[in-house]
C-alpha cells in the first residue's frame, strides 16, 4: 500500500446470487470486474469461517476452516454432482436483498451432501493432496463437526465426557464410526478452498487485492478450543476460568460480554507462539492484506470471570505486546496487516501500533461525538496520518446516512460546519462525507458498499449485542449500475486513488 489507493467493503454473503446467499459463484467474479472498472484496488471482506449460532462471522467453528455456505452450487451443477432442478427446488428464501439463514442451513447442507455422495471424492488425487497438506488442522475440524452433528448440534462442552475430553479410545471410536461424515466435512473444505483460490487469483490478475479479516479470539464452541484446550484459560475439565469482553463505557452501562475463551499467553510465549504463527500463515495464504480485529487486546485484554452476567466486574490483563509480531516477522517475513485500533485507545496501544508499523483505522462516524471531543479529534480527517486506513464506517456501524439521521442536532451542526456545507439536502449529504474521507491523507480509503448506495440503517450489516437481524443484507444486481461505477471511478481519480496497476 505505497500509493494512495481505495477499496470497497462488501461481505461475500452480501453478493447477489441465485441461491439465497452470496458465494463464490459468477456474481463474485462479476463484482471483481465491476471493482476493476470502478478503479478500485482493494476488496475488503468479512471473516470466511463457518458460522455458528447467531450467524456472526466473528463466532466461527474454526479459525482455519471455510464456510460451506460460500461453495458455489452453480459450479457443482457444472461438475454434474447436482442438477439445476434440485437447486431450484430448494427453499432458500424469496428476498433478493436478504438472507434467511435458517432456510439456507436446512437447504444447502442436504444438497452439499448429495454432491459429496456423487463425487467419488476419495479417488480424486487433488483432494488427497489437499487432505494430506492440511491434516494438521483438518482432521480435528472434520471430526469436531461430525461429532457435533452426532450430538444434534450441541456445543462440545455438552458432549459425553470421553469425547469432550478427547480420550484416545473415544477419538478412535468416532473416527471409525463417523468415517463418511468426516470425509463429507473434508470434501466441503476441499471445495471451499479450491473455489476461493480461483476467485482470489482472478481478482489479483485484475489488479484487485483482497483484505481479509480475522477476529482476535476464537469461539468457545470451536474445533480450536476443543482440540487445543492448553492454548486457553480453561480448567482441568476444560471449563473457562475467564472470558473476553469489553468494559462499561458511554455506549453500554454493562459493557460487552463476548464469552470467548481467553488465551493462556504464557503458554503461547513458551511455544514461540507456534499456534499463532500457523494461524497467521494460513491468513497470509488466503488474503493479500489481513485486518486483525480488536488489536488493542494484544496490548491489554479485558478479563471477565466465567459465569458473570455482565462485563461490569472484569479487569485488564497484559497481552503479548510487540513480541508476537516480532516473532511473526521472524517466522513469516513481512506482510501487510491493518490494526483495528478502534474504541478506547490508551497510550500503550498507540505505542504498540506504532512499533508494529501497521496502519491503524480511522472512522469518520466517530469524529463528531459531542460526548468525547478529546479522542474524537483523532477521527477528524485532517488529522489522519498517512499510515492509516480511512473509513466512513465499518460493518459494526450505522450506514453513513443512518448515522447522520441518528446523531444529536449539535453533532449534525458540527459535521456540517466541518464540511463547510450548510445547504446540501440531507438525502445527498452522504456523498460529501465519502468525498471528505477520500481526500484525507490516509494511504488507503475503504468505503462500505451501503454508503456508496446511500442506504439507510435498514441495510446495516451488524448491530453489536443484538441477535436475529444481523449479517443479512444483500446487494441486488440492479444496484450495481454503470452509473454508480462511473461515479466511484471519477471520485477515486479526483482524489488520486485510482488503481494504477490497471492498463
Q: Which of 55, 75, 224, 293 is catalytic?
A: 293
Neighbours of 335 (CB within 10 A): 16
User: Which candidate, 125, 136, 142, places its Cα nearest to that of 187?
Assistant: 142
Q: Determine whether 340 is an active site residue.
A: yes
Burial (CB count <10 Å: 0-12, 13-18, 19+), residue 281: middle
| CA 103 centroid distance within chain | 22
**d(C-alpha 371, C-alpha 373), whole Å:** 6
**d(C-alpha 262, C-alpha 102), whole Å:** 30
**Listing from the earlier edge strand, what are the strands of the sheet with 209-214?**
337-339, 289-292, 209-214, 42-44, 5-9, 444-448, 388-391, 360-363
Contacts of 13 (CB under 8 A, 6+ apart): 21, 22, 46, 57, 69, 99, 471, 474
Phi and psi (nearest 5°) for 363? -120, 120
- What is the Cβ-side half-sphere exposure of residue 333, based on CA atoms within 13 angstroms? 4
User: Which candidate, 257, 259, 262, 260, places its Cα nearest to that of 231?
Assistant: 262
Q: Determine whether 355 is an active site residue.
A: no
Burial (CB count <10 Å: 0-12, 13-18, 19+), residue 148: buried
Q: Which of 37, 300, 396, 479 is catalytic?
A: 396
**d(C-alpha 363, C-alpha 365), whole Å:** 6
Q: Which of 75, 213, 299, 340 is catalytic?
A: 340
CB 93 within 8 A of CB 139: no
CB 289 within 8 A of CB 271: no
Q: Is the dihedral of CA 54, 139, 165, 161 positive or negative?
A: positive
CB 452 within 8 A of CB 442: no
User: Which candidate, 264, 242, 279, places its Cα nearest to that of 319?
Assistant: 264
Contacts of 493 (CB under 8 A, 6+ apart): 39
Active site residues: 293, 340, 396
Amino acid at each position: 500500500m505505497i500509493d494512495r489507493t481505495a477499496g470497497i467493503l462488501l461481505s461475500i454473503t452480501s453478493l447477489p446470487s441465485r441461491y439465497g446467499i452470496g458465494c463464490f459463484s459468477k456474481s463474485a467474479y462479476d463484482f471483481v470486474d465491476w471493482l476493476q472498472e470502478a478503479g478500485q484496488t482493494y476488496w475488503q471482506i468479512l471473516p470466511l469461517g463457518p458460522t455458528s449460532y447467531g450467524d456472526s462471522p466473528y463466532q466461527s467453528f474454526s479459525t482455519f476452516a471455510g464456510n460451506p455456505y460460500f461453495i458455489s452450487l452453480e459450479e457443482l451443477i457444472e461438475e454434474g454432482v447436482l442438477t439445476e432442478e434440485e437447486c431450484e427446488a430448494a427453499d432458500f428464501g424469496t428476498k433478493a436483498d436478504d438472507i434467511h439463514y435458517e432456510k439456507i442451513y436446512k437447504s444447502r447442507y442436504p444438497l452439499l451432501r448429495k454432491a459429496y455422495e456423487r463425487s467419488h471424492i476419495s479417488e480424486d488425487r487433488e483432494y488427497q493432496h489437499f487432505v494430506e497438506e492440511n491434516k494438521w488442522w483438518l482432521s480435528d475440524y472434520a471430526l469436531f463437526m461430525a461429532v457435533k452433528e452426532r450430538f444434534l448440534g450441541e456445543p462440545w462442552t455438552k458432549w459425553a465426557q470421553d469425547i469432550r475430553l478427547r480420550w484416545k479410545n473415544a477419538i478412535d471410536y468416532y473416527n471409525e464410526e463417523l468415517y463418511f461424515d468426516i470425509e463429507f466435512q473434508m470434501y466441503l473444505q476441499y471445495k471451499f478452498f479450491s473455489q476461493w483460490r480461483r476467485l482470489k487469483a482472478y481478482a489479483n490478475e485484475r489488479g484487485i487485492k483482497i483484505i481479509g479479516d480475522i477476529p482476535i479470539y476464537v469461539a468457545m464452541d470451536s474445533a480450536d478450543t476443543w482440540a487445543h484446550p492448553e492454548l486457553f484459560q480453561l480448567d482441568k475439565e476444560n471449563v473457562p476460568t475467564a472470558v473476553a469482553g469489553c468494559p462499561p463505557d458511554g455506549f453500554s452501562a454493562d459493557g460487552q460480554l463476548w464469552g470467548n475463551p481467553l488465551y493462556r499467553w504464557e503458554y503461547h510465549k513458551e511455544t514461540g507462539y507456534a499456534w499463532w504463527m500457523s494461524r497467521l500463515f494460513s491468513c497470509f495464504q488466503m488474503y493479500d492484506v489481513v485486518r486483525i480485529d480488536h488489536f488493542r487486546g494484544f496490548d491489554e485484554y479485558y478479563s471477565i470471570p466465567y459465569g458473570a452476567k455482565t462485563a461490569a466486574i472484569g479487569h485488564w490483563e497484559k497481552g503479548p505486546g510487540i513480541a508476537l509480531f516480532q516473532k511473526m516477522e521472524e517466522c513469516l517475513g513481512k506482510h501487510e496487516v491493518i490494526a483495528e485500533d478502534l474504541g478506547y485507545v490508551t497510550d500503550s496501544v498507540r505505542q504498540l501500533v506504532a512499533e508494529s508499523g501497521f496502519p491503524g483505522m480511522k472512522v469518520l462516524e466517530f469524529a463528531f461525538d459531542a460526548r468525547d471531543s478529546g479522542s474524537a479529534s483523532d477521527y477528524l480527517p485532517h488529522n489522519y496520518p498517512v499510515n492509516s486506513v480511512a473509513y466512513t464506517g465499518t460493518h459494526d456501524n450505522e450506514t453513513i446516512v443512518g448515522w447522520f439521521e441518528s446523531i444529536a442536532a449539535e453533532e449534525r451542526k458540527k459535521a456540517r460546519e466541518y464540511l463547510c456545507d450548510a445547504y446540501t439536502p440531507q438525502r445527498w449529504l452522504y456523498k460529501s462525507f465519502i468525498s471528505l474521507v477520500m481526500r484525507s491523507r490516509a494511504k488507503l480509503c475503504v468505503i462500505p458498499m451501503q454508503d456508496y448506495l446511500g442506504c439507510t440503517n435498514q441495510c446495516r450489516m451488524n448491530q453489536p449485542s443484538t441477535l436475529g437481524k444481523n449479517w443479512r443484507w444483500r446487494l441486488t444486481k440492479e444496484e450495481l449500475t454503470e452509473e454508480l461505477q462511473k461515479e466511484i471511478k471519477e471520485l477515486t481519480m479526483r482524489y488520486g486513488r485510482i488503481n494504477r496497476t490497471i492498463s
